[in-house]
Structure 1
Protein backbone atom coordinates (compact mmCIF):
# COMPACT_ATOMS: atom_id res chain seq x y z
CA UNK A 1 0.00 0.00 0.00
CA UNK A 2 1.31 3.45 -0.90
CA UNK A 3 0.47 5.07 2.42
CA UNK A 4 -2.34 7.43 3.36
CA UNK A 5 -2.23 11.05 2.24
CA UNK A 6 -4.51 13.81 3.49
CA UNK A 7 -4.50 16.90 1.27
CA UNK A 8 -5.57 19.80 3.46
CA UNK A 9 -4.46 22.37 6.01
CA UNK A 10 -4.10 22.15 9.79
CA UNK A 11 -6.66 24.85 10.70
CA UNK A 12 -9.41 23.38 8.49
CA UNK A 13 -12.25 21.88 10.53
CA UNK A 14 -12.94 19.31 7.82
CA UNK A 15 -9.29 18.28 7.66
CA UNK A 16 -9.18 18.01 11.46
CA UNK A 17 -12.10 15.57 11.37
CA UNK A 18 -10.03 13.24 9.20
CA UNK A 19 -6.89 13.66 11.31
CA UNK A 20 -8.85 12.75 14.45
CA UNK A 21 -10.25 9.56 12.88
CA UNK A 22 -6.78 8.48 11.74
CA UNK A 23 -5.32 9.12 15.20
CA UNK A 24 -8.19 7.15 16.80
CA UNK A 25 -7.14 4.22 14.62
CA UNK A 26 -3.43 4.72 15.23
CA UNK A 27 -2.77 5.00 11.50
CA UNK A 28 0.21 6.88 10.11
CA UNK A 29 -0.51 9.42 7.39
CA UNK A 30 1.13 12.16 5.39
CA UNK A 31 -0.35 15.66 5.43
CA UNK A 32 0.03 17.21 2.00
CA UNK A 33 -0.42 20.98 2.53
CA UNK A 34 -2.71 22.74 0.05
CA UNK A 35 -1.82 26.37 -0.76
CA UNK A 36 -5.31 27.82 -0.51
CA UNK A 37 -4.11 31.43 -0.55
CA UNK A 38 -2.94 30.90 -4.11
CA UNK A 39 -6.06 28.92 -5.03
CA UNK A 40 -4.28 25.60 -5.42
CA UNK A 41 -7.51 23.80 -4.37
CA UNK A 42 -9.35 25.30 -7.36
CA UNK A 43 -6.84 24.14 -9.99
CA UNK A 44 -5.49 20.91 -11.44
CA UNK A 45 -4.08 18.59 -10.20
CA UNK A 46 -6.08 19.06 -6.97
CA UNK A 47 -9.38 19.05 -8.86
CA UNK A 48 -8.67 15.47 -9.90
CA UNK A 49 -8.92 14.58 -6.19
CA UNK A 50 -11.95 16.75 -5.39
CA UNK A 51 -13.83 18.22 -8.36
CA UNK A 52 -15.59 20.67 -6.01
CA UNK A 53 -12.27 22.29 -5.13
CA UNK A 54 -12.61 21.88 -1.36
CA UNK A 55 -10.37 20.34 1.27
CA UNK A 56 -9.63 17.76 2.41
CA UNK A 57 -8.94 15.18 -0.25
CA UNK A 58 -7.79 11.72 0.75
CA UNK A 59 -5.72 8.98 -0.82
CA UNK A 60 -5.20 5.44 0.43
CA UNK A 61 -3.43 3.58 -2.34
CA UNK A 62 -5.87 3.51 -5.25
CA UNK A 63 -8.75 4.80 -3.08
CA UNK A 64 -9.36 8.51 -3.62
CA UNK A 65 -12.06 10.25 -1.57
CA UNK A 66 -13.39 13.67 -0.61
CA UNK A 67 -16.01 14.94 1.91
CA UNK A 68 -14.61 14.60 5.43
CA UNK A 69 -17.47 12.59 6.92
CA UNK A 70 -17.31 10.06 4.09
CA UNK A 71 -13.56 9.78 4.61
CA UNK A 72 -13.94 9.11 8.35
CA UNK A 73 -16.47 6.37 7.61
CA UNK A 74 -14.06 4.77 5.15
CA UNK A 75 -11.32 4.88 7.80
CA UNK A 76 -13.64 3.31 10.40
CA UNK A 77 -14.71 0.42 8.15
CA UNK A 78 -11.52 -0.17 6.16
CA UNK A 79 -9.45 -0.28 9.35
CA UNK A 80 -12.04 -1.94 11.58
CA UNK A 81 -9.35 -4.15 13.16
CA UNK A 82 -7.27 -1.16 14.31
CA UNK A 83 -7.60 1.24 17.24
CA UNK A 84 -11.01 2.37 18.46
CA UNK A 85 -14.11 1.11 16.57
CA UNK A 86 -15.87 4.48 15.78
CA UNK A 87 -18.76 2.53 14.21
CA UNK A 88 -20.77 -0.52 15.33
CA UNK A 89 -20.10 -3.25 12.80
CA UNK A 90 -21.63 -6.23 14.60
CA UNK A 91 -25.01 -4.71 15.49
CA UNK A 92 -27.04 -3.06 12.73
CA UNK A 93 -29.63 -1.61 15.11
CA UNK A 94 -26.98 0.10 17.24
CA UNK A 95 -25.22 1.35 14.11
CA UNK A 96 -28.51 2.77 12.86
CA UNK A 97 -28.69 4.91 16.00
CA UNK A 98 -25.10 6.09 15.50
CA UNK A 99 -26.01 6.96 11.89
CA UNK A 100 -28.97 9.05 13.03
CA UNK A 101 -26.74 11.19 15.23
CA UNK A 102 -24.10 11.45 12.52
CA UNK A 103 -26.83 12.92 10.32
CA UNK A 104 -27.97 15.24 13.11
CA UNK A 105 -24.42 16.59 13.38
CA UNK A 106 -24.13 17.28 9.66
CA UNK A 107 -27.68 18.53 9.02
CA UNK A 108 -28.66 20.27 12.27
CA UNK A 109 -25.62 21.05 14.43
CA UNK A 110 -23.11 21.96 11.71
CA UNK A 111 -25.58 24.15 9.81
CA UNK A 112 -25.58 26.57 12.75
CA UNK A 113 -22.19 25.90 14.35
CA UNK A 114 -20.09 26.21 11.19
CA UNK A 115 -21.73 29.54 10.36
CA UNK A 116 -20.98 30.79 13.89
CA UNK A 117 -17.35 29.68 13.60
CA UNK A 118 -17.10 31.53 10.29
CA UNK A 119 -18.58 34.74 11.72
CA UNK A 120 -16.83 34.73 15.11
CA UNK A 121 -13.48 33.06 14.40
CA UNK A 122 -12.53 32.94 10.75
CA UNK A 123 -13.87 36.32 9.56
CA UNK A 124 -11.84 38.22 12.20
CA UNK A 125 -8.82 36.03 11.33
CA UNK A 126 -9.11 37.16 7.70
CA UNK A 127 -9.79 40.80 8.58
CA UNK A 128 -13.46 40.65 7.66
CA UNK A 129 -16.34 42.13 9.64
CA UNK A 130 -18.62 39.86 11.69
CA UNK A 131 -22.32 39.89 10.75
CA UNK A 132 -23.94 40.27 14.18
CA UNK A 133 -27.45 39.56 12.89
CA UNK A 134 -26.25 36.23 11.48
CA UNK A 135 -24.60 35.43 14.81
CA UNK A 136 -27.85 36.05 16.71
CA UNK A 137 -29.84 33.96 14.25
CA UNK A 138 -27.51 30.97 14.32
CA UNK A 139 -26.99 31.14 18.09
CA UNK A 140 -30.75 30.65 18.47
CA UNK A 141 -30.67 27.71 16.04
CA UNK A 142 -27.73 26.12 17.81
CA UNK A 143 -29.41 26.53 21.21
CA UNK A 144 -32.36 24.46 19.99
CA UNK A 145 -30.05 21.71 18.76
CA UNK A 146 -28.13 21.69 22.05
CA UNK A 147 -31.40 21.39 24.00
CA UNK A 148 -32.03 18.16 22.09
CA UNK A 149 -28.44 17.02 22.79
CA UNK A 150 -28.92 17.75 26.50
CA UNK A 151 -31.98 15.51 26.54
CA UNK A 152 -30.26 12.77 24.51
CA UNK A 153 -27.20 12.77 26.79
CA UNK A 154 -29.37 12.02 29.82
CA UNK A 155 -30.03 8.64 28.14
CA UNK A 156 -26.53 7.63 27.06
CA UNK A 157 -22.92 8.70 27.65
CA UNK A 158 -22.37 9.56 24.00
CA UNK A 159 -24.71 10.71 21.24
CA UNK A 160 -24.77 7.37 19.43
CA UNK A 161 -24.92 5.23 22.56
CA UNK A 162 -22.57 4.17 25.34
CA UNK A 163 -19.41 4.14 23.19
CA UNK A 164 -17.55 7.02 21.52
CA UNK A 165 -18.26 7.00 17.77
CA UNK A 166 -18.06 9.12 14.64
CA UNK A 167 -21.28 10.80 15.81
CA UNK A 168 -19.22 12.42 18.57
CA UNK A 169 -15.91 12.81 16.75
CA UNK A 170 -17.43 14.84 13.91
CA UNK A 171 -18.32 17.64 16.36
CA UNK A 172 -14.82 18.22 17.71
CA UNK A 173 -13.26 20.69 15.23
CA UNK A 174 -16.09 23.24 15.09
CA UNK A 175 -16.80 22.98 18.82
CA UNK A 176 -13.14 23.61 19.59
CA UNK A 177 -13.27 26.92 17.71
CA UNK A 178 -16.59 27.93 19.29
CA UNK A 179 -15.30 27.38 22.82
CA UNK A 180 -13.12 30.44 22.38
CA UNK A 181 -16.14 32.63 21.59
CA UNK A 182 -19.34 33.87 23.23
CA UNK A 183 -21.04 30.69 22.00
CA UNK A 184 -19.21 28.71 24.71
CA UNK A 185 -21.94 29.70 27.16
CA UNK A 186 -24.47 27.69 25.15
CA UNK A 187 -22.48 24.52 25.83
CA UNK A 188 -21.43 25.34 29.38
CA UNK A 189 -24.99 26.12 30.50
CA UNK A 190 -26.12 22.59 29.61
CA UNK A 191 -24.50 20.23 32.10
CA UNK A 192 -24.74 17.02 30.10
CA UNK A 193 -23.51 18.70 26.90
CA UNK A 194 -20.68 20.32 28.85
CA UNK A 195 -19.61 16.99 30.43
CA UNK A 196 -19.85 15.21 27.07
CA UNK A 197 -17.68 17.78 25.32
CA UNK A 198 -15.11 17.74 28.14
CA UNK A 199 -14.94 13.97 27.73
CA UNK A 200 -14.53 13.86 23.95
CA UNK A 201 -12.07 16.74 23.68
CA UNK A 202 -9.80 15.06 26.27
CA UNK A 203 -9.30 12.04 24.01
CA UNK A 204 -5.63 11.42 23.11
CA UNK A 205 -6.50 11.43 19.39
CA UNK A 206 -7.91 14.95 19.63
CA UNK A 207 -4.97 16.17 21.70
CA UNK A 208 -2.72 14.98 18.86
CA UNK A 209 -4.78 17.01 16.38
CA UNK A 210 -4.43 20.09 18.59
CA UNK A 211 -0.67 19.56 18.87
CA UNK A 212 -0.36 19.74 15.08
Structure 2
Protein backbone atom coordinates (compact mmCIF):
# COMPACT_ATOMS: atom_id res chain seq x y z
CA UNK A 1 0.00 0.00 0.00
CA UNK A 2 1.40 3.38 -1.00
CA UNK A 3 1.34 6.57 1.00
CA UNK A 4 -1.89 8.53 1.18
CA UNK A 5 -1.94 12.22 2.02
CA UNK A 6 -5.32 13.55 3.08
CA UNK A 7 -5.78 17.27 2.50
CA UNK A 8 -6.01 20.01 -0.11
CA UNK A 9 -3.12 21.16 -2.27
CA UNK A 10 -4.13 24.83 -1.85
CA UNK A 11 -3.58 24.48 1.91
CA UNK A 12 -0.15 25.60 3.08
CA UNK A 13 0.15 22.67 5.47
CA UNK A 14 -0.84 20.07 2.87
CA UNK A 15 1.44 21.55 0.23
CA UNK A 16 4.35 21.61 2.73
CA UNK A 17 4.07 17.83 2.95
CA UNK A 18 3.64 17.54 -0.82
CA UNK A 19 6.82 19.51 -1.55
CA UNK A 20 8.76 17.12 0.69
CA UNK A 21 7.25 14.07 -0.99
CA UNK A 22 8.15 15.51 -4.41
CA UNK A 23 11.72 16.28 -3.27
CA UNK A 24 12.13 12.61 -2.37
CA UNK A 25 10.23 11.46 -5.48
CA UNK A 26 7.90 9.38 -3.33
CA UNK A 27 4.77 7.98 -4.95
CA UNK A 28 1.71 9.02 -3.00
CA UNK A 29 -1.99 9.56 -3.45
CA UNK A 30 -3.51 12.92 -2.54
CA UNK A 31 -6.94 12.19 -1.09
CA UNK A 32 -9.00 15.41 -1.19
CA UNK A 33 -10.68 16.50 2.04
CA UNK A 34 -13.54 18.94 1.52
CA UNK A 35 -12.84 21.41 4.32
CA UNK A 36 -15.40 23.84 2.87
CA UNK A 37 -18.19 21.43 3.73
CA UNK A 38 -16.56 20.48 7.06
CA UNK A 39 -15.42 17.00 6.06
CA UNK A 40 -12.32 17.43 8.25
CA UNK A 41 -14.54 17.66 11.32
CA UNK A 42 -16.38 14.38 10.66
CA UNK A 43 -15.51 11.00 12.25
CA UNK A 44 -13.74 9.41 9.22
CA UNK A 45 -11.15 12.18 9.11
CA UNK A 46 -11.06 12.68 12.89
CA UNK A 47 -9.89 9.07 13.13
CA UNK A 48 -6.77 10.22 11.28
CA UNK A 49 -6.33 13.55 13.07
CA UNK A 50 -8.42 14.03 16.21
CA UNK A 51 -7.80 17.80 16.01
CA UNK A 52 -9.66 17.98 12.71
CA UNK A 53 -6.93 19.74 10.73
CA UNK A 54 -5.42 18.82 7.38
CA UNK A 55 -3.21 17.14 6.35
CA UNK A 56 -2.92 13.58 7.59
CA UNK A 57 -0.54 10.96 6.19
CA UNK A 58 -1.12 7.22 6.06
CA UNK A 59 1.90 5.00 5.42
CA UNK A 60 0.81 1.37 5.83
CA UNK A 61 -0.15 1.06 9.51
CA UNK A 62 1.27 4.47 10.50
CA UNK A 63 -0.93 7.57 10.58
CA UNK A 64 0.62 10.98 11.13
CA UNK A 65 -0.70 14.52 11.38
CA UNK A 66 1.01 17.93 11.76
CA UNK A 67 2.69 18.85 8.49
CA UNK A 68 6.14 19.49 9.96
CA UNK A 69 6.12 16.09 11.66
CA UNK A 70 5.18 14.61 8.29
CA UNK A 71 8.04 16.35 6.46
CA UNK A 72 10.48 15.24 9.17
CA UNK A 73 9.27 11.65 8.83
CA UNK A 74 9.60 11.67 5.04
CA UNK A 75 13.06 13.27 5.20
CA UNK A 76 14.20 10.62 7.69
CA UNK A 77 12.57 7.60 6.03
CA UNK A 78 14.03 8.50 2.64
CA UNK A 79 17.29 9.98 3.88
CA UNK A 80 19.31 7.85 1.47
CA UNK A 81 17.46 9.10 -1.63
CA UNK A 82 17.15 12.56 -3.14
CA UNK A 83 18.53 15.67 -1.43
CA UNK A 84 19.79 15.32 2.13
CA UNK A 85 17.14 17.41 3.87
CA UNK A 86 18.36 16.61 7.40
CA UNK A 87 22.19 16.66 6.90
CA UNK A 88 22.26 13.13 8.26
CA UNK A 89 26.05 12.73 8.43
CA UNK A 90 26.90 16.04 10.06
CA UNK A 91 25.76 16.55 13.66
CA UNK A 92 26.37 20.30 13.63
CA UNK A 93 24.54 20.92 10.36
CA UNK A 94 21.75 18.58 11.44
CA UNK A 95 21.35 20.62 14.63
CA UNK A 96 21.13 23.83 12.59
CA UNK A 97 18.43 22.29 10.42
CA UNK A 98 16.42 21.67 13.59
CA UNK A 99 17.07 25.20 14.88
CA UNK A 100 15.84 26.93 11.73
CA UNK A 101 12.95 24.53 11.28
CA UNK A 102 11.93 25.48 14.82
CA UNK A 103 12.25 29.18 13.98
CA UNK A 104 9.88 28.68 11.05
CA UNK A 105 7.33 27.00 13.28
CA UNK A 106 7.62 29.29 16.32
CA UNK A 107 8.44 32.73 14.88
CA UNK A 108 7.91 32.89 11.11
CA UNK A 109 4.62 31.05 10.72
CA UNK A 110 2.76 32.75 13.63
CA UNK A 111 3.60 36.21 12.24
CA UNK A 112 3.06 35.54 8.56
CA UNK A 113 -0.04 33.33 8.64
CA UNK A 114 -2.44 36.02 9.94
CA UNK A 115 -1.33 38.36 7.13
CA UNK A 116 -1.94 35.66 4.52
CA UNK A 117 -5.32 34.93 6.07
CA UNK A 118 -6.47 38.54 6.04
CA UNK A 119 -5.32 39.35 2.51
CA UNK A 120 -6.08 36.09 0.71
CA UNK A 121 -8.43 33.87 2.72
CA UNK A 122 -10.78 36.48 4.23
CA UNK A 123 -11.77 37.90 0.79
CA UNK A 124 -12.34 34.30 -0.39
CA UNK A 125 -14.86 34.11 2.47
CA UNK A 126 -16.43 37.45 1.54
CA UNK A 127 -14.74 39.50 4.27
CA UNK A 128 -12.53 42.58 4.11
CA UNK A 129 -8.89 42.35 5.27
CA UNK A 130 -8.65 43.51 8.88
CA UNK A 131 -5.84 46.06 9.16
CA UNK A 132 -5.93 45.86 12.96
CA UNK A 133 -4.73 42.26 12.58
CA UNK A 134 -2.37 42.89 9.67
CA UNK A 135 -0.36 45.79 11.07
CA UNK A 136 0.92 44.28 14.33
CA UNK A 137 1.86 41.12 12.46
CA UNK A 138 3.77 43.14 9.85
CA UNK A 139 5.82 44.53 12.74
CA UNK A 140 6.49 40.98 13.95
CA UNK A 141 7.37 39.77 10.45
CA UNK A 142 9.87 42.60 9.92
CA UNK A 143 11.80 41.56 13.03
CA UNK A 144 11.93 37.94 11.91
CA UNK A 145 12.92 38.86 8.36
CA UNK A 146 15.73 41.07 9.65
CA UNK A 147 17.16 38.04 11.44
CA UNK A 148 16.82 35.94 8.27
CA UNK A 149 18.49 38.61 6.13
CA UNK A 150 21.44 38.73 8.50
CA UNK A 151 21.69 34.94 8.60
CA UNK A 152 21.62 34.70 4.80
CA UNK A 153 24.57 37.07 4.42
CA UNK A 154 26.80 34.18 5.55
CA UNK A 155 25.06 31.11 4.08
CA UNK A 156 23.04 30.41 0.95
CA UNK A 157 20.36 28.56 2.89
CA UNK A 158 19.14 28.86 6.46
CA UNK A 159 20.99 25.89 7.93
CA UNK A 160 24.10 26.24 5.77
CA UNK A 161 25.00 25.93 2.11
CA UNK A 162 22.58 23.09 1.36
CA UNK A 163 18.81 23.12 0.84
CA UNK A 164 17.22 21.39 3.83
CA UNK A 165 13.97 20.88 5.66
CA UNK A 166 14.54 24.25 7.32
CA UNK A 167 14.08 25.96 3.95
CA UNK A 168 11.45 23.59 2.59
CA UNK A 169 9.05 24.18 5.48
CA UNK A 170 8.94 27.89 4.57
CA UNK A 171 7.87 27.47 0.96
CA UNK A 172 4.03 27.43 0.97
CA UNK A 173 3.55 30.33 3.41
CA UNK A 174 6.18 32.43 1.66
CA UNK A 175 4.56 31.78 -1.72
CA UNK A 176 1.24 33.12 -0.47
CA UNK A 177 2.94 36.00 1.36
CA UNK A 178 4.53 37.05 -1.94
CA UNK A 179 1.01 37.37 -3.35
CA UNK A 180 0.00 39.92 -0.70
CA UNK A 181 0.74 43.67 -0.65
CA UNK A 182 3.54 42.85 1.83
CA UNK A 183 5.80 41.11 -0.72
CA UNK A 184 8.19 44.07 -0.62
CA UNK A 185 9.24 43.00 2.89
CA UNK A 186 11.07 40.13 1.22
CA UNK A 187 11.93 41.79 -2.08
CA UNK A 188 13.62 44.71 -0.31
CA UNK A 189 15.98 42.37 1.55
CA UNK A 190 18.44 41.21 -1.13
CA UNK A 191 19.75 38.05 0.53
CA UNK A 192 16.27 36.99 1.54
CA UNK A 193 14.98 37.64 -1.97
CA UNK A 194 17.78 35.55 -3.49
CA UNK A 195 17.01 32.72 -1.04
CA UNK A 196 13.33 32.82 -1.97
CA UNK A 197 14.11 32.72 -5.70
CA UNK A 198 16.33 29.68 -5.12
CA UNK A 199 13.91 27.66 -3.04
CA UNK A 200 10.75 28.56 -4.98
CA UNK A 201 12.42 27.54 -8.26
CA UNK A 202 12.86 23.92 -7.21
CA UNK A 203 10.91 21.43 -9.35
CA UNK A 204 9.30 19.96 -6.22
CA UNK A 205 7.41 23.22 -5.76
CA UNK A 206 7.02 24.25 -9.40
CA UNK A 207 5.11 21.00 -9.93
CA UNK A 208 2.35 22.03 -7.55
CA UNK A 209 2.42 25.83 -7.39
CA UNK A 210 -0.52 25.98 -9.80
CA UNK A 211 -2.69 24.43 -7.07
CA UNK A 212 -1.98 27.15 -4.47
CA UNK A 213 -4.89 29.25 -5.60
CA UNK A 214 -6.05 31.32 -2.64
CA UNK A 215 -6.20 34.96 -3.67
CA UNK A 216 -6.59 34.17 -7.35
CA UNK A 217 -9.69 34.34 -9.50
CA UNK A 218 -9.77 30.57 -9.87
CA UNK A 219 -9.69 29.98 -6.12
CA UNK A 220 -13.25 28.75 -6.15
TM-score where L is the length of structure 1: 0.97
Residues 55-97 of structure 1: CA deviation (Å, up to 9, x unaligned):
0000111111000000000000011122111111111221111
Partner of 2:24: 25
After superposition, where does 1:3-152 map in structure 2 within 5 Å? Answer: 3-152=2-151
CA distance in 2, matches of 1:115, 1:191: 24
Q: Which structure 1 segments of 5+ residues have no match?
A: none
Partner of 1:210: 209
What's the CA shift for 1:113? 0.6
After superposition, where does 1:186-201 map in structure 2 within 5 Å? Answer: 186-201=185-200
Runs of 4+ aligned residues of structure 1 deviating over 4 Å after TM superposition are none
Partner of 2:170: 171
Secondary structure of 1:160's counterpart equals coil
What's the CA shift for 1:28? 1.1
Secondary structure of 1:37's counterpart equals helix
CA distance in 2, matches of 1:37, 1:134: 23
Secondary structure of 2:54's counterpart equals coil
Partner of 2:154: 155
Q: Which structure 2 segments of 5+ residues have no match?
A: 212-220
Give RMSD over aligned pairs. Answer: 0.8
Secondary structure of 1:98's counterpart equals helix
What's the CA shift for 1:155? 1.1
Aligned length: 211
Residues 142-190 of structure 1: CA deviation (Å, up to 9, x unaligned):
0110000000001110001110001101111011111111110100010
